[in-house]
């Protein structure tokens, strides 16, 4: 990731602000505000703004449940209760805004979370930076044989090199031709003074999906947790998981109590179906169980056994 | 509106906070943060938290349009451009949270704006305050004769008094019986130590729709403007308009440039249909116009003439 | 619930339609289309329209996962897989519209589900029917002593009678005064030809929260299931649960395969936290467990034991 | 656009359905249900399902306004009234679902309309078709000189040929290398039996943004009109406008009365700001106007004059 001199100065200016406010603040998050947190080879996330903290959640819950919340004596106890029982609206009282640089194919996954506010760099108006994602060798994996959406073993030397070369050459060539069609270099210099360039809104179609884009992305804490639950999960694609993990860190700095409850009840938890509950009950009683009588498919059976780390019961 | 001693102390504590932040701040809004702004007889709004200011809108627009925005030299010019051309996402970058006390029948109108986050005081958990809305004499209006949803003349002395008495007596009686059913007074004291009270979630159904409730209400600036455009309009019910007008004031303190553009293009502006445009064109050319040839209904015709203050053309 | 002669005729007309369509249809749901399904004393639900069926979910999933879904051979297997892994978008491909009559205090709970489309009968324009909810004797319960939002024992004879009388008298009196203020009876007849009535938008505030309202309510299947999961749950208030249960029946007729997966994975399932998983693992291994070492609060412990029906482990 | 034999058969099967339903139907839309409507060189739209018609809007409005709507005697008059006064919820009662094939760079614009339900073909699971968008010669336009997001003159012979060659060669080369990395051809045949292919979720990043994707896209009529208002506008990019125009045709077949009101009040209408209204009033009175006293910027002034076709007043 290369920041221009201008960008570095802008960030420095933002960080040197020292404003007074009567709003609640999150001191740990303030420390990293505006900071560039690098992701992948050219990407980053930056926390640009936020609103509320753990006490905002408690405040909203207490207005909802009024005198009814007196019994839950601590803020921590109340937040855990809310998380456990899937109360949603108190967590919507907190808001956060990120500046994110990410490859287009990841942006396409990301945007499917519809509840956020987004302002993306527009290639209709402006020329995209000459930056594209190339996976590190250890992330260049083969298609998984038993999971249609997963990765298998890492590619070996020769094949890995070949793939990387193809990705690099194609990205560079298509970007160069993008400049040729625009009749303009990425730095704004004109290529041929006597020619006219193709409209930007057309030329962009020649770029490959690993080209980097950037956006401001703003969401409330509830929807952020829904995003992180899916995208920090080990089923998520490695590239988006890297972003999700870095964002988890910012959540920890922002709302530490909520973070802890989230890790316990959502990220580290599991769901058990009606049929699954019966199997667990039998296991606890020491009764014999088998997949045929369980009503579970083979796949469901294994998912249940894995959730409770019962490796010996896998079939 | 009666605040308890506890509530007054809480507000005082909130207002005396002096935190440091690197976030952008809105100094005029900071001055009224947490302050109780009275509405109607017992209602209020309070700004509890906010995120962003006019520069946040500009920042988002400039990332979207990149180098393309250099031509619009000023922030003010850019915000006006965005408003005029119905750009929406940059205005979503700002967020505000209110604490609002309002009669239930107004809350029912309000909640139809679905894009906000809400935490309402729950009468399933807690006892509602003994406060109900009684209109001031000058707002006690008859049903409009020509507008199914509007108000006509103000009721005269005797009838006005009768209506007010009915409203007051019914609200007090139903509230008293609410307490009787609960076996508990609004201050928490038990009425009959040997009896058990009806479940709160049931007893509440005896209250009238002018009983006050309260909630935290959080939304982004775009959706707030959509709300204000409808609810500060003279077609809106007087009672909700009072809230909308007070909120308009807070928008002015928060994002003054956006406020000005909003007043010019949305609140003070008008829409003209395809057929209406042709009428206006004829009027400018000094041609004769008449409703029969216009393709407009009588109602549309008058709405168009009123929009441009052409009283002599009303039919 | 009293339907007018006109309403009965309208329903009969709707039901006697026999249109041809190339769209997919849900034959079991067609049988009850437009039918009045009574709820509580004066409420009802009616299915007015729908779009899609189980195959629409499968169709959407197969376009998403393309050749990847060939391995899941049956529609039923695929729908179960989607439900188990919280895939959401395929279930959004189905849509349903209800006509619902319900007490206002229930409508206020209901409307908090923001993702639906709603058109409610407006008391600004029209006079509300003279119908209010009075609980049956067996649902007139005391406030729960250990659950701030729950019900305890049913009230006994004398107290029950007293409560019912209060509810009935207050509803009737406030409704009568509503008519007096309007100077108009619920059937449209004018009370005093020489007087003018109070504006409807004001008079409505005198009604109690058990007055019935009605609306058209349209949502997609995913959000309907989210609604039903919460509102058909035994923690939900009895009155809204009655609506949810009747709607569950319509879901069964509409998308029977999805219904079955929903009952197994959502309604009948449970969640287990990270700490809870460790307890279950110990129980399966026959190890000793105790609340002190578990990291669980007393409340969490009991919720876990109840979820797996381990009554002997309750503390 | 090349449909496989299988796809043609599937469409034929869908179209030959003849189901009975009590739901309302839209006979003109039924005629084109499932039909492939070609867009650009390889794209299409197909209407797959719908719910409701013009009468559904009227039905919802009449329940909202109850007896208050009796005065508006015709369905057409009521729909026009709703459109003119920006009533939104009745239009949400209708729903439509499309199957759409479109280039990825257009899909990225499209997805910004967040209120729709989407299921997109996933290149994590499956191999994308070998189809990419190449503009026709008459749409290969230069960057506009005075509009940062627009198109200027069409490129001339040589330059046009060069651009087309670059687009075509780059798309083919990157697609071929995509297959090489996958070790699999688009038809599913394996390239080298002894090699393993790169994970699909990675290989896809080598494709250019003019590659075609496809999705099911479902929305309600209100949000569809919001989409069409922006995307059928002459400021929209040509490629997405082609889709919007074809969709406008389907709206005309589906809800003809709403379509007419939409064209009159939204598509053909204009907005006038508070300051603009004063200029129009002066013009009607025959007073002199000039940009300096108007409070309008030069740009605003010209937009106003163009809206009312006052070419002689342009500056």
D222 CB-near residues (< 8 Å, 6+ apart): D88, D89, D91, D92
Length of chain A: 315
Q: Do D265 and B277 touch (CB under 8 A)?
A: no
Would you state the structure tokens that stand for residue B227, as one six-digit string? 């709300």
Which candidate, C84, C116, C63, places its Cα nearest to that of C258?
C84
Residue range B251-279: mean pLDDT, rounded: 95
**DSSP strands (E only) in chain D:** 19-21, 37-39, 43-51, 95-103, 117-120, 141-143, 151-154, 212-220, 270-272
Could you report the per-residue pLDDT of B133-155, keeping only the tens digit for each? Answer: 999 999 999 888 776 667 888 99
Q: Which of B22, B95, B120 sits opposite A51 (nearest CB)?
A: B95
Tell me the helices (H) and strands (E) count for chain D, helix number first: 13, 9
Q: Assess contact for C209 and C180: CB atoms under 8 A.
A: no
The chain D residue lying nearest C124, using CA atoms, is: D65
Q: Which of D49, D119, D214 sits opposite C52 (nearest CB)?
A: D49
pLDDT of residue C20: 96
Q: What distance in Å separates the CA atoms of residue A240 and residue A244, rounded to the nearest whole number?
A: 6
The predicted model scores a pTM of 0.95
Count of pairs with CB atoms under 8 A, one residue in B, one in D: 97
Nearest CA of chain A to the CA of B8: how many Å?
A: 16
Reduced to 3 states (helix: H, G, I; strand: E, B; else coil), residue C4 is: coil
Known catalytic residue: A23? no
pLDDT of residue B73: 66
Sort out which chain A residues have CB atoms less than 8 A from D154's CB and list them.
Answer: none
Look at residue C73 and tell me whether its pLDDT is greater than 70.
no
Q: Which of D84, D89, D150 is the mutation pick for testing B, counting most B CBs within 10 A?
A: D84
> What pLDDT band is residue C67 in, cutting at 50, 70 and 90?
low
Q: What distance in Å separates the CA atoms of residue B313 and residue B309, rounded to the nearest whole number?
A: 9
Would you state the structure tokens that stand for residue C113, as one six-digit string? 């589900």
Reduced to 3 states (helix: H, G, I; strand: E, B; else coil), residue D281 is: helix
The DSSP line for A12-70 is HHHHT--EEESS---HHHHHHTT--EEETTTEEEEEEEEE--HHHHHHHHHHHHGGGGT
Q: At what angle do helices B75-84 and B54-65 cross, to 10 degrees?
A: 80
Q: Which of C68, C280, C283 sits opposite A148 (nearest CB)?
A: C68
Which residues of D touch chain B, with CB atoms under 8 Å apart?
A: 65, 68, 71, 77, 80-81, 84, 86, 89, 112, 148-149, 230, 263-265, 267-277, 280-281, 283-284, 286, 297, 299-300, 303, 307-310
Identify the weakest region by mean pLDDT among A141-155, A187-201, C66-80, C142-156.
C66-80
Nearest CA of chain A to the CA of B286: how many Å?
A: 42
Look at residue A69 and tell me whether its pLDDT is greater than 60.
no
Of residues C144 and A221, the one with the higher pLDDT is A221
- H-helix or E-strand spanning residue C44: strand C43-51
Sort out which chain C residues have CB atoms less than 8 A from D89's CB and list them.
Answer: 117-119
Query: Could you tell me which chains touch chain A, where touching means 3 or more CB pairs under 8 A?
Result: B, C, D
What is the CA angle A270-A271-A277, rounded to 5? 120
Look at residue A286 and tell me whether its pLDDT is greater than 60.
yes
Q: What distance in Å separates the CA atoms of residue D158 and residue B107, rounded to the nearest whole number?
A: 66
Query: Could you tell me which chains touch chain C, where touching means 3 or more CB pairs under 8 A?
Result: A, B, D
Q: Do D237 and A195 touch (CB under 8 A)?
A: no
Residue carrying the six token digits 């009662």: D93
Find the catalytic residue in A112, A231, A266, A299. A231
Would you state the structure tokens that stand for residue C18, as one six-digit string? 């026999």
Residue range A274-296: mean pLDDT, rounded: 93
Q: Do A167 and D114 touch (CB under 8 A)?
A: no
Q: What distance in Å separates the CA atoms of residue C263 and residue C252, rounded to the nearest whole number?
A: 10
Would you state the structure tokens that stand for residue B161, as one six-digit string? 């008094």
Q: What distance in Å separates the CA atoms of residue D169 and residue A231, rounded to the nearest whole number?
A: 36
Look at residue B70 and tell me whether its pLDDT is greater than 60.
no
Of residues A213 and C125, the one with the higher pLDDT is A213
Q: Which of B180, B197, B205 sits opposite C105 (nearest CB)?
A: B205
Q: Do D280 and B281 touch (CB under 8 A)?
A: no
Could you report the per-residue pLDDT of C109-152, keeping only the tens digit for each? Answer: 999 998 999 999 999 888 999 999 999 999 999 888 776 667 88
Sort out which chain B residues have CB atoms less than 8 A from D307's CB and list them.
Answer: 277
The chain A residue lying nearest C310, using CA atoms, is: A281
> What DSSP character marks residue A245?
H
pLDDT of residue B274: 95
CATH of B1-132+210-269, one of 3.30.310.160, 3.40.50.720, 3.30.1360.170, 3.40.50.620: 3.30.1360.170
> What pLDDT band is residue C157 in, cutting at 50, 70 and 90?
confident
> What pLDDT band is residue B196 in, cutting at 50, 70 and 90?
confident
Sort out which chain D residues have CB atoms less than 8 A from A166's CB and list them.
Answer: 177, 180-181, 206
Give percent above pLDDT 90 in chain A: 77
Q: Which of A174, A204, A237 sits opposite D174 (nearest CB)?
A: A174
Reduced to 3 states (helix: H, G, I; strand: E, B; else coil), residue C210 is: coil
The residues of B annotated as belonging to the active site are: 231
Sort out which chain C residues have CB atoms less than 8 A from A263's CB and list them.
Answer: 274
Q: Assess contact for B63 and A121: CB atoms under 8 A.
A: yes
Reduced to 3 states (helix: H, G, I; strand: E, B; else coil), residue A192 is: coil
Identify the weakest region by mean pLDDT among B5-14, B62-71, B79-88, B92-101.
B62-71
Burial zone of B54 (CB within 10 Å; 0-12 exposed, 13-18 middle, 19+ buried):
buried
Q: What distance in Å separates the CA atoms of residue B22 and residue A218, rounded to the nearest whole number?
A: 18
Sort out which chain C residues have CB atoms less than 8 A from D64's CB and list them.
Answer: 119-122, 125
Nearest CA of chain A to the CA of D274: how many Å?
A: 29
pLDDT of residue A129: 92
Which candidate, A40, A34, A177, places its Cα nearest to that of A103?
A40
Q: Do B77 and D297 touch (CB under 8 A)?
A: yes
pLDDT of residue B229: 95
Distances (CA, A) of D234 to B86, C12, C213, D267: 15, 48, 45, 10
pLDDT of residue A210: 98
Distance of CA B57 to the CA centre of its chain: 23
Q: Phi and psi at residue A131, in whole multiples of 5°?
A: -140, 130
Burial zone of C122 (CB within 10 Å; 0-12 exposed, 13-18 middle, 19+ buried):
buried
Q: Assess contact for D191 and D179: CB atoms under 8 A.
A: yes
pLDDT of residue A73: 67
The chain C residue lying nearest D91, using CA atoms, is: C117
Look at residue C65 and tell me whether its pLDDT is greater than 80.
no
Q: Which of D114, D272, D278, D279 is the mutation pick for testing B, counting most B CBs within 10 A?
A: D272
Q: Do B125 and C149 touch (CB under 8 A)?
A: yes
Could you give the dihedral angle defined by the CA atoms of residues A111, A112, A114 and A115, in that order, rounded to the nearest 10 degrees? -80
Sort out which chain D residues have CB atoms less than 8 A from B65's CB and list them.
Answer: 148-149
Domain extents in chain D: 1-131+210-269, 134-209, 274-313
**Residue B66 region, left (φ>0) first, then alpha (ψ -120 to 50), else beta?**
left
**DSSP strands (E only) in chain A:** 19-21, 37-39, 43-51, 95-103, 117-120, 141-143, 151-154, 212-220, 270-272
The chain B residue lying nearest A91, using CA atoms, is: B117
Handedness of CA C133, C137, C143, C144 (dihedral sign): negative
Looking from the CA of C22 toward its CB, the CA atoms found within 13 Å total 20
Q: What distance in Å separates the CA atoms of residue B73 and residue B13, rounded to the nearest whole number?
A: 42
CATH of C1-123+210-269, one of 3.40.50.300, 1.10.10.10, 3.30.1360.170, 3.30.450.40: 3.30.1360.170
pLDDT of residue D211: 98
The DSSP line for C123-184 is TTTSPPPS-B----GGG-EEEPSS-TT-EEEEPPHHHHHHHHHHHHHHHHHHHHHHHHHHTB
Q: Which residues of chain D have pLDDT under 50?
A: none
Q: Phi and psi at residue D150, in whole multiples of 5°?
A: -115, -175
Residue range B216-224: mean pLDDT, rounded: 98
Residue B20's CB: how many other CB atoms inside 10 A?
13
Look at residue A80 and tell me whether its pLDDT is greater than 70.
yes
Tell me the helices (H) and strands (E) count for chain C, helix number first: 13, 9
Q: Do A209 and D210 touch (CB under 8 A)?
A: no
Look at residue A70 and tell me whether its pLDDT is greater than 70.
no
CATH code for the domain defined by D1-131+210-269: 3.30.1360.170
Sort out which chain B residues have CB atoms less than 8 A from C153's CB and list them.
Answer: 196
> What pLDDT band is residue B105 in, cutting at 50, 70 and 90?
very high
Nearest CA of chain C to the CA of A101: how many Å?
A: 26
Sort out which chain C residues have CB atoms less than 8 A from D58's CB and list them.
Answer: none
Fold for A5-133+210-267, please state it. Gyrase A; domain 2 (3.30.1360)
Handedness of CA B26, B30, B34, B36 (dihedral sign): negative
Q: Assess contact for C68 and C78: CB atoms under 8 A.
A: no
Which residues of C touch chain A, with CB atoms under 8 Å apart?
A: 65, 68, 71, 77, 80-81, 84, 86, 89, 112, 148-149, 230, 263-265, 267-277, 280-281, 283-284, 286, 297, 299-300, 303, 307-310
């Amino acid at each position: 990731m290369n920041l221009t001199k201008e960008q570095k100065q802008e960030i420095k200016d933002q960080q040197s602000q020292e404003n007074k406010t009567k709003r609640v603040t999150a001191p740990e998050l303030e420390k990293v505000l505006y900071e560039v947190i690098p992701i992948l080879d050219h990407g980053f996330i930056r926390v640009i703004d936020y609103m509320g903290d753990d006490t905002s959640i408690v405040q909203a819950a207490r207005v909802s449940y009024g005198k009814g919340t007196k019994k839950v004596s601590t803020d921590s106890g109340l937040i855990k209760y809310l998380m456990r029982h899937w109360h949603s609206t108190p967590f919507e009282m907190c808001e956060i805004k990120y500046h994110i640089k990410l490859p287009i194919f990841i942006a396409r996954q990301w945007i499917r979370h519809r509840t956020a506010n987004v302002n993306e760099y527009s290639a209709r108006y402006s020329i995209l930076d000459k930056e594209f994602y190339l996976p590190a060798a250890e992330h260049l994996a083969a298609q998984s044989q038993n999971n249609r959406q997963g990765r298998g073993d890492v590619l070996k030397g020769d094949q890995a090199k070949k793939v990387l070369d193809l990705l690099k050459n194609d990205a560079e060539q298509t970007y160069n031709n993008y400049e040729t069609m625009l009749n303009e270099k990425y730095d704004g210099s004109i290529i041929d003074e006597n020619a006219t360039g193709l409209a930007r809104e057309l030329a962009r179609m020649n770029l490959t999906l690993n080209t980097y884009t950037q956006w401001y992305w703003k969401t409330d804490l509830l929807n952020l947790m829904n995003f992180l639950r899916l995208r920090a999960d080990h089923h998520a694609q490695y590239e988006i998981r890297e972003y999700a993990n870095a964002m988890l860190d910012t959540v920890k700095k922002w709302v530490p109590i909520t973070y802890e409850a989230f890790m316990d009840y959502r990220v580290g938890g599991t769901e058990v179906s009606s049929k699954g509950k019966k199997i667990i009950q039998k296991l606890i009683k020491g009764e014999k169980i088998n997949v045929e009588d369980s009503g579970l498919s083979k796949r469901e059976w294994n998912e249940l056994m894995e959730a409770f780390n019962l490796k010996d019961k896998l079939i």
